[in-house]
């Protein structure tokens, strides 16, 4: 109790200082009214670690009960959903066991646990003189680092994987505990921080996030963090930053240099607005808890927000273990904004006294928290600017007469909803999204990658690298070069957009490929990589073809089905049996059955004339890939005398296989029997089998003509 009385006095004193200096740091508390509060999930800020409080049985005299722990860390009905727990590093190692029961329970619930010391062991401390109760001489820094490391080891050996330990609780408020200057904490972190290996090291937790060089904090506040930022060794050893918010004004919470340091900032202790007896259920006073959290998240870009006592007469739970109004105001965040969520862009102040923040869980959920501090109700429109449509909006609201009151499936359209924000209330909207259907373009294409200006979201598959190249484009001025292949399967890959390509459905795929190095011919392949329902990575062949040097070949399949149990689909292109460079161009994914024009294939037929000295060569161009083989003689025989035009392989149907067989015959690598020759005469303009018959068969297969023979 003595400690708490002094704490209250310090807050009152800091408040006086803040009022006296307010003119130096003006705050714009209002914004012009806006019709719509816009939520943009594509603009993202910090990742959220969670919300919580401290359990300190050494000071309160009793630990949380099993039931109270469930209320604090559970996320069911009438539970707070806390995901962060702060514990006390007792200077006496024999007392460390007091932190265990609640920490062990919280750990089993998936809660992040961190620790703060107030004092070093008694044998390491000296009198602090005028600056504080205690002081740690530099000669004992190594021993103190071992003390903190040992605490982390002790907790881990007892089932609590401590996330972090801080250097010192409020070294700039040291009338009752240990004083450190800003230079001392920086020195300790830089030269001894790497000795703490059992857990992460947090910065000192300043009493107040006061402006640098604030007149009332001669050596404290943000100065602790500035000196760490300016010391490379200290920055290397400091894993995250922690601060307290006592008396901290909204305008002071922003610290761009710290926010852009690449390390999380946690608000690790506060209570607002006071610690008076039985103040936990005062309303609308309790609404200040929600506002303080909002400012920490939006202005300070904090990743965690930690209250002072979880259970106290002014805490999140009252002494009897019941959730207080202050607790419900925190629960508007803690129950619905969960660890791993990312804060996203929102119109922060769409109207006077209205404050909004928004968070993205996964692609299917956005959480919006809206505070109305005003004394009048306000109707607000929220618009979610996403490539998805709203399917459900659930609201949870705390007001003078409500505690997390739920309104399920509010009215909405595909992209927005209206909501009433009662006077002096906080509302949380959990918005469920569903992917909007993606429509193909007029050609039936979902994507068409030309590689003229960029890599079109392709990347190396395996060890391969990719780069744009103008050496041998198929179309335009550039193709995609695939190089530095360490294995034959290394190539180029593209993740298929999930909103267009869905499991179990069929699609048309085409990629054009060429090479200039190595032997000829080579087998090229377009394949699929995906994850099945068991979490295993699987592969499937989409198309393959034999490629010849300096010529483009098409890898195409007009009706490839994505596996029904698959997700995370990627297509990739590879050259089998070698590691030479190759090029791809004109990569297309389209609606099933879409015929995608490929590169021309030259087929040369030599016809002997009656003149011994003359050979006539005729060249015909078709739009399907060729297959090169050695010369063979067909053994297929038939007694049929009538023609089934186009059925070159005599299987009773006309397909691409017939065209490939016809190509082989025209190149002189295959002999046809008499029935096959009759079927091959697809163009009756003459009686001979000529390249024109090949063209006629191709036109039939691609739909340019609708019957054979063609006259």
Q: To 10 degrees, what angle do helices 141-157 and 182-192 make?
A: 60
439 is catalytic: no
Q: Are 86 and 306 in contact (CB under 8 A)?
A: yes
Closest CA to 99 of 85, 110, 111: 85
User: Which of 269, 285, 574, 586 is an active site residue?
Assistant: 269
Distances 198 to 89, 149, 160, 194, 540 between C-alpha atoms, Å: 14, 6, 11, 10, 45
Strand order in 164-166's β-sheet? 200-202, 164-166, 112-117, 84-89, 50-54, 304-309, 265-269, 241-244
Q: Which residues are 435's β-sheet partners? A: 388
In sequence order, what are the residues at sequence separation of 6 or more whose Cβ sits closer than 8 angstroms to the Cβ of residue 205? 116, 166, 168, 169, 170, 242, 243, 244, 268, 269
CA geometry: angle at 543 spanning 537 and 544, to 5°? 110
Residues 6 or more apart whose Cβ sits within 8 Å of residue 402? 425
Q: Which candidate in 170, 264, 285, 424 is catalytic?
A: 170
191, with CB counted inside 10 A (0-12, 13-18, 19+), is middle
- Residues sharing a CB contact under 8 Å with residue 359, sequence separation 6 or more, in sequence order: 48, 337, 341, 342, 343, 344, 366, 367, 368, 369
Residue 149: C-alpha distances to residues 89, 134, 193, 666 (Å):
11, 21, 10, 80
Active site residue 602: no
DSSP category for residue 317: B
Cβ neighbours of 509 (radius 10 Å): 24
Secondary-structure breakdown of the chain: helix, strand, coil percentages, each rounded to the nearest 5? 20, 30, 45
Instruction: Work out whether strand 582-591 and strand 567-575 pair parallel, antiparallel, or are unpaired.
Output: unpaired
Whether residue 345 contacts residue 339, with contact meaning beta carbons closer than 8 Å, is answered with no
Using alpha carbons only, give the angle 456, 460, 461 rounded to the nearest 5 degrees.
120
What are the catalytic residues? 170, 269
């Amino acid at each position: 109790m003595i400690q708490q009385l002094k704490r209250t006095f310090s807050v009152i004193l800091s408040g006086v200082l803040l009022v006296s200096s307010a003119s130096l740091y003006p705050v714009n508390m209002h914004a012009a009214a806006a019709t719509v509060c816009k939520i943009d999930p594509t603009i993202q800020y910090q990742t959220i670690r969670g919300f919580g409080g401290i359990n300190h049985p050494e000071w309160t005299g009793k630990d949380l009960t099993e039931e109270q722990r469930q209320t604090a860390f559970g996320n069911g009905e009438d539970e707070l959903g806390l995901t962060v727990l702060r514990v006390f590093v007792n200077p006496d190692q024999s007392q460390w066991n007091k932190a265990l029961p609640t920490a062990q329970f919280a750990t089993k619930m998936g809660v992040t646990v961190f620790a703060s010391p107030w004092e070093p062991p008694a044998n390491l401390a000296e009198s602090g003189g005028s600056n504080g109760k205690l002081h740690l001489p530099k000669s004992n820094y190594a021993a103190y680092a071992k003390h903190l490391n040992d605490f982390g080891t002790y907790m881990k050996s007892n089932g609590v994987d401590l996330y972090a330990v801080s250097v010192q609780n409020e070294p700039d408020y040291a009338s009752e505990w240990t004083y450190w200057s800003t230079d001392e904490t920086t020195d300790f972190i830089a030269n001894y921080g790497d000795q703490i290996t059992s857990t992460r090291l947090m910065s000192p937790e300043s009493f107040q996030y006061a402006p640098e060089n604030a007149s009332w904090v001669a050596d404290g506040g943000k100065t602790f963090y500035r000196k760490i930022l300016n010391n490379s060794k200290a920055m290397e050893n400091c894993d995250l930053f922690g601060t307290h918010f006592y008396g901290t004004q909204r305008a002071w919470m922003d610290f761009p240099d710290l926010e852009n340091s690449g390390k999380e900032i946690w608000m690790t202790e506060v209570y607002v607005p006071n610690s008076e007896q039985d103040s936990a259920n005062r309303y609308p006073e309790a609404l200040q808890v929600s506002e303080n959290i909002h400012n920490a998240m939006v202005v300070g870009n904090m990743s965690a927000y930690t209250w002072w006592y979880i259970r106290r007469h002014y805490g999140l739970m009252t002494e009897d273990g019941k959730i207080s109004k202050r607790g419900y105001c925190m629960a508007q965040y803690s129950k619905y904004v969960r660890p791993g969520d990312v804060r996203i862009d929102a119109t922060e102040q769409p109207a006077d006294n209205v404050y909004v923040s928004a968070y993205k869980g996964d692609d299917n959920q956005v959480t919006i928290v809206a505070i109305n501090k005003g004394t009048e109700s306000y109707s607000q429109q929220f618009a979610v600017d996403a490539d998805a449509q709203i399917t459900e909006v659930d609201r949870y609201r705390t007001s003078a007469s409500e505690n997390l009151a739920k309104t399920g499936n509010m009215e909405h359209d595909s992209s927005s909803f209206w909501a009433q924000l009662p006077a002096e209330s906080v509302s949380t909207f959990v918005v469920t999204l569903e992917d909007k259907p993606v429509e193909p373009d007029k050609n039936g294409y979902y994507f068409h990658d030309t590689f003229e200006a960029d890599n079109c979201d392709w990347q190396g598959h395996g060890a391969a690298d990719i780069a744009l190249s103008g050496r041998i484009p198929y179309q335009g001025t550039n193709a995609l070069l695939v190089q530095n292949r360490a294995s034959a399967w290394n190539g180029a890959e593209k993740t298929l957009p999930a909103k267009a390509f869905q499991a179990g459905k069929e699609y048309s795929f085409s990629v054009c490929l060429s090479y200039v190095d190595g032997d000829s011919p080579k087998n090229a392949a377009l394949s699929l990589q995906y994850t099945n329902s068991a979490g295993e990575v699987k592969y499937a062949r989409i198309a393959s073809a034999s490629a010849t040097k300096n010529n483009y070949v098409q890898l195409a399949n007009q009706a490839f089905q994505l596996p029904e149990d698959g997700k995370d689909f990627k297509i990739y292109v590879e050259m089998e049996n070698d590691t030479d460079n190759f090029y791809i161009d004109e990569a297309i994914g389209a609606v099933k059955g879409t015929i995608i024009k490929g590169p021309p294939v030259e087929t040369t037929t030599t016809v002997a004339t009656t003149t011994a000295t003359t050979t006539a060569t005729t060249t015909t161009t078709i739009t399907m890939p060729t297959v090169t083989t050695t010369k063979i003689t067909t053994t297929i025989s038939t007694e049929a005398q009538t023609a089934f035009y186009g059925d070159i392989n005599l299987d009773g149907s006309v397909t691409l296989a017939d065209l490939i067989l016809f190509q082989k015959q025209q190149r002189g690598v295959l002999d046809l029997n008499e029935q096959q020759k009759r079927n091959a005469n697809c163009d009756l303009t003459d009686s001979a089998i000529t390249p024109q018959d090949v063209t006629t068969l191709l036109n039939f297969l691609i739909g340019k003509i609708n019957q054979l023979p063609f006259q």
